[in-house]
Structure 1
Amino acid sequence: MIGNPPQQSDKLDHETVFLEDMGIGDRWFSPWRDISADDVAEFAVLTGDNDPLHSDDALRSPFGEPIAHGLLGLSVLAGLSSKHPNAATLALVGISDWQFESPIFFGDRVQVCTEVEQIQQHGRRSGRVTWIRQLINQNGKVVQRGRFVTLVATRLRARHPSGRDRSKSLPAR
């Protein structure tokens, strides 16, 4: 359990958050998302993972009912956190220390808590941000957690997306 949820960052979700806008400890919460049996079935078709744990055959499993794929939970987390915050992300460079703490059952509601853990400059136009991300169910229980590492643009990069001078015209052919 995460206990009392921490306060959400004052930064608005819809505003683009650049490297300079971030501080250690900033947090955001995503909206809630329901995990349905259809989501699990479609994920199984997409990935080819048809383990009986994810179907009605799971009634004889240690969980006593079907559960969602762990990687479906991770994928939902990635999607929910992509706009909460709406960071000026250039690339995902790593996922580490990922833990599947508890199963996600059909019908569970989940949301993501994202916190800035570390910021390192990465050249003049971007930074390497380490985020702690937690997937939390409707009961306040953390079902998955770990770290994402991304490159985030600075405002300078947003103003000058490439090193080329776009004001020069190309020679006629």
Structure 2
Amino acid sequence: MTSSYRGILWDDLRHGQTFWSSGRTITEHDVSAFSALSGDFNPLHVDDEEGKCSVFGRRIPHGPLGMLFAIGGYDRIGLLEGVVVALLDMNWRFRAPMHIGDTLRTKVTVAALEESKKPDLGKLTMHLQMYNQREEVVQEGEHRFLIRRRTDDEAGP
């Protein structure tokens, strides 16, 4: 039986290939929902007056919210849908603060493709750079996945 995936199989990816997510604007609701889900009610994120006194001069969203936006970017691109077996590793850096109202886009680049022990799976490392509307990199990092490979009964693209 031939399987159909929206995502791109390991065999069809190439080192250096680049994809862009659509934009996603950080809203007050996003910050509130993240606080509720994570239990992180640090005043830097939820208290306007405290935010004004911070080094940022205003409240800022939680840093890990950006990581989640980046992961959501994979879905908006459709790159990994139906082909990911596991997230193996993540390395993430916070370069600049995000602000409520910023619109973020993620550039996703194939950084490495490795064989795995199983012939129907491969390892994929993606380098991500998240940009705000001013074209500033606010976060970046690498994600390493185990993804599906083409099987003998699946034709090429």
- With normalisation by structure 2, the TM-score equals 0.87
Amino acid at match of 1:41: S
Does 1:132 find its partner at 2:127? yes
Aligned residue number for residue 58 of structure 1: 51
Amino acid at match of 1:64: G
Aligned residue number for residue 68 of structure 2: 75
CA RMSD of aligned residues (A): 1.7
| Count of residues in Structure 1 that have an aligned counterpart in Structure 2 | 145
Amino acid at match of 2:70: L
Could you list the runs of 4 or more consecutive aligned residues of structure 1 that deviate by over 3 angstroms after TM superposition? none
Paired with 2:57 and 2:122, the residues of 1 have a C-alpha distance of: 45
User: What is the CA distance between 1:99 and its match in structure 2?
Assistant: 0.7
User: What is the CA distance between 1:81 and its match in structure 2?
Assistant: 1.9
Q: Between the two structures, name the one with larger relative contact order (CA 8 Å, sep ≥ 6).
A: 2
User: Which of the two has higher C-alpha Rg?
Assistant: 1
% of aligned pairs identical?
30
Q: Residues 111-147 of structure 1, C-alpha deviation per residue, up to 9 Å, x if partnerless?
A: 1110001000112011101110111111111100010
Q: Could you tell me whether the CA contact under 8 Å between 1:19 and 1:127 is conserved in 2?
A: yes
Q: Could you tell me whether the CA contact under 8 Å between 2:22 and 2:76 is conserved in 1?
A: no
**CA spacing shift, 1:83–1:39, aligned 2, 3 Å:** closer
- With normalisation by structure 1, the TM-score equals 0.79
Does 1:141 find its partner at 2:132? no
Amino acid at match of 1:102: A
SS in 2 for 1:131: strand
Paired with 1:16 and 1:48, the residues of 2 have a C-alpha distance of: 33
Unaligned residue ranges in structure 1 (runs of 5+): 1-13, 160-173
Unaligned residue ranges in structure 2 (runs of 5+): none
Identify which of 76, 86, 102 aligns with 1:108. Answer: 102
